[in-house]
Amino acid sequence: PFIFHQAHAPFPIALVNRSPYGKPIHVDTANPQDAAWMGAFRYAKKSIFIQSPTLNASPAIDGIIAACRRGVIVTIWLGLGFNDSVEGFGTFQGGTNEHVVKKLYKKLRDGNDGAVTYLQVYWYTGKDQTRPRHFSHKQRNCHIKFMSIDDQVAIMGNGNMDSQSWFHSQEVNVMIDSSAVVKEWMDALYKNQSTHRYGRVTFD
């Protein structure tokens, strides 16, 4: 859908991209994209919202855990089974979405400090669906890559929360600082899918 924004005052915008990096090692984080994401995890005070097809990059996992332990609510919308054959074990990527979600909940639960209650994970559910559809069905899959921090700052582009995008691929993203525009983007996400209604993953 097209989103026509309400009139607003000028606000800061920055391109936070990354150049390609071909070596098969997970170390290349010295780039604007990764710096923006790591800053988001580190400096969020109240909430972090992420929608991504995939999630398995180690800095993202560490950032989510650290934020939850600070009392920041982290909400994640992911694709159920998205690209499992590419992201799974043996591919040097970091594991499937289901594996990573289990790992996140286990690490937070093992801390025994209540941090697990700050993590809210959902499987993407299409607007006309009442339950998530596994990627293998090739129906109602979602490719949104979006992050908002404290309902004020947002990062949107073609960077996923997986190892490929964090460490290797050439990516283009924009970061904005505007609570008004972030709200309009969030309203659009909630309006055009049913993830928040039917996709919630329980703690167990």
Does position 185 have pLDDT exceeding 80, yes or no? yes
Q: What is the identity of the amino acid at 128? A: D
The count of other CB atoms within 10 Å of the CB of residue 112 is: 8
The count of other CB atoms within 10 Å of the CB of residue 124 is: 27
Structure tokens that stand for 33 in this block: 């994209």
Does position 84 have pLDDT exceeding 80, yes or no? no
* pLDDT category of residue 37 using cuts at 50, 70 and 90: very high
Q: What pLDDT digit, counting tens, does each position of 122-136 carry? A: 999 999 999 998 888
Q: What pLDDT digit, counting tens, does each position of 107-164 carry? A: 999 999 999 999 999 999 999 999 998 888 887 789 999 999 999 999 999 999 999 9
Q: Which of 11, 8, 75, 17 is nearest to 48 (CA)?
A: 75
Whose tokens are 């992911």? That residue is 78
On whether the 20-199 domain is CATH 3.10.20.30, my answer is no
Any residues with CB less than 8 A from the CB of 69 and at least 6 apart, and which? 108, 111, 113, 115
* pLDDT category of residue 30 using cuts at 50, 70 and 90: very high
* Mean of per-residue pLDDT scores for the chain: 93
- The answer to whether the beta carbons of residues 87 and 105 sit under 8 Å apart is no
Classify residue 107 by its DSSP letter. H
In the prediction, which pLDDT does 161 show?
97
In the prediction, which pLDDT does 140 show?
77
